[in-house]
Amino acid sequence: MTFVQIQIIASILMFMALNSASAQDLDCMEEEAQDFLKRDVIKRSLDPDGALKTSIQYRILHYGHFPDGPYRNVNPIPVGNNVQKVIFLGLPAKVHKKVVHPLSCVEKAIQQDCLLTPYFAQNLSTFRTVNSYRGGELSNHLFGLAIDIDPSINPCCGCVKPWSDHPSCQMPDLSAWERTKLPACYIEAFEHFGFYWLGRDPDLQDTMHFEYLGRPGETEMETETQQVCPTGMIQIKKEHESFCIDQYEAPNRPGERPFVARTALEGEAYCKSQGKELCSDVAWERACQGRQNFPFPYGPEYREGVCNDDKVWRSPSWPLVTRYNPVNPDLNPAARDHVNYLNQSESSGKRPDCTSDEGVFDMTGNAAEWVKNTRKIPSGVDGKINGHTIKGCYWSKCYKNDRPSCRFNNPNHASSFRSYETGFRCCKDLALNP
């Protein structure tokens, strides 16, 4: 052994000694994953359907429901209300707030115990809004409980393609431990703090996937039921008040494209018909900037393409746009076809990173959004104060090619103005409508 090697080992040992505090010393209590929540246990139970129902209801009770999901009556609070952005293994991740602490304990354990087997993660897949399971199963990604680490090199041999096409999956004699590139100490760190490694699932052998199946803190359950938002809305706290905001642009349905070519007056009428109101500029901006007051919904720096804001602009024919009827587009087929040509919006929620830390999607990019001009920002064209302003910009950046930020305003148009890229979303003031 060379002198340099001895020095390196000595440094490692010293670092380990300095960081040898136990998990308990770090305010981390070890726990096991609960068996009744494990997919393979449910599949092999005497009553798989009943066991699945129990596990789903447990997760909804403790973590919240999600749009179009089952058993909303179990917990009226949407999962999206409680999803937080964190940094794990040096990478951004989105997890349920009840998983933040156990996940931090996992990372501390990795830092302490895996010095001799370093692993540098390149990609994480965490919170999702679209279910990836079939047959009534619900992915723990929907609840913000699951993390995939480097799917391209840590395969899921029992999954659908392309994951099952990984070369190591074609070697039936290999164990999940042999298929994964993750060091064993990483897997053990997760399992010390309530996470289950899906590599242990004999059907899936999903070596990239860890899911929290521990016991969430009971004290974290929401109690302010008198201020729960309607389904599909996110509760936002603003100073001493609270308000609700649609999680997606109107019509507020994930997987559907937003309304476009709407005037502010049409937005007002639609929201009123839903028992809501068009968002104010202040409320909209609070939901976009999040708890950390970021200028962009996803963070402090502009990142092109995180949201649907990088499309090539298409020149409109304004006479056709103004004749477009959003209620009955077929009244003018030429106007309909032209607006369809101009419309480069995407289905709501398609870009999972285009969300604020409050869990509100597509606040920049996609459709631009009408809001009430409560700040009385004057028009830059004629100095008039219009009743509404446009925020968020659209699929081709902003007016004058500005970066689509939470703070951008376009107050230059009357409330009856119809443009091909404008939509809206609705709000509800809990202080006024408890």
Q: Does some domain include residue 206?
A: yes
pLDDT digits (tens, 9 = 90+) for 205-215: 999 999 999 98
**261 and 188 together in one domain:** no
Q: What's the rounded mean pLDDT across residues 160-167?
A: 84
Q: 114-120: which pairs have CB atoms within 8 A and are 24 or more residues apart?
A: 114/183, 114/185, 114/186, 114/189, 115/12, 115/15, 115/16, 116/12, 117/183, 117/184, 117/185, 117/186, 118/183, 119/181, 119/182, 119/183, 119/186
Task: Give the mean pLDDT of 141-145.
Answer: 95
Position 431 scores a pLDDT of: 52
The pTM score is 0.55
Indicate if the pLDDT at residue 147 is higher than 60.
yes
Nearest in space to 423 (alpha carbons), one of 233, 250, 234: 250
Confidence at residue 57, expressed as pLDDT on a 0 to 100 scale? 86
Q: Cβ contacts of residue 384 below 8 Å, gap of 6+?
A: 378
Per residue in 345-403, pLDDT (tens digit) is: 999 988 888 988 888 999 999 999 999 999 999 999 999 999 999 999 999 988 777 88
Q: Is residue 277 located within the same domain as residue 212?
A: no
Q: Does the CA dihedral 402-404-405-409 come out positive or negative? A: positive
Among residues 407, 127, 390, which one has the least CA distance to residue 399?
Answer: 390
Which pLDDT band holds residue 259 (cuts at 50, 70, 90)? Answer: very high
- Asked if 71 and 205 sit in the same domain, the reply is yes
Q: Which of 103, 209, 128, 113 is nearest to 163 (CA)?
A: 209
Residue 408 pLDDT > 80, yes or no? yes
Three-state DSSP state, 261: coil
Least confident of 134-138, 274-278, 387-391: 134-138
Predicted confidence at residue 15, as pLDDT, reads: 36
Could you read off the pLDDT of 8-49 as tens digits, one per residue?
333 333 334 333 333 344 489 999 999 989 999 999 988 888
Last residue of a domain, one of 218, 245, 278: 218
Bigger pLDDT: 357 or 238? 357
Q: What is the pLDDT of residues 177-228, one digit of tens each?
A: 999 999 999 999 999 999 999 999 999 999 999 999 998 863 333 333 344 7
Q: Got the DSSP string for 349-410?
A: TSSTTSB-TTS-B-SSSSSEEEEE-TT-PPPTTT----SEEEES-BTTB-GGG----TT--B
Same domain? 171 vs 139: yes
Same domain for 309 and 359, yes or no, is yes
Domain contains 381: yes
Q: Are residues 198 and 236 in the same domain?
A: no
- Do 388 and 341 lie in a common domain? yes
> How many domains does the chain fold into?
2
Whether residues 263 and 303 share a domain: the answer is yes
Per-residue pLDDT, averaged over 294-314, amounts to: 92
194 and 62 within one domain: yes
Give the pLDDT band of residue 239 (cuts 50, 70, 90): low
CB 411 within 8 A of CB 380: yes
From residue 83, how far is each of 40, 133, 245, 357, 375 by CA, in Å?
A: 26, 20, 15, 7, 30
Contacts of 196 by beta carbon, 8 Å cutoff, 6+ apart: 33, 37, 38, 210, 211, 212, 213
Same structural domain, 313 and 423: yes
Indicate if 211 and 233 belong to the same structural domain.
Answer: no
Q: Which of 196, 218, 240 is a domain's end point?
A: 218
> In the β-sheet with 422-424, what is the strand arrangement from edge to edge?
388-391, 368-372, 422-424
Give the residue numbers spanning the domain of 74: 20-218
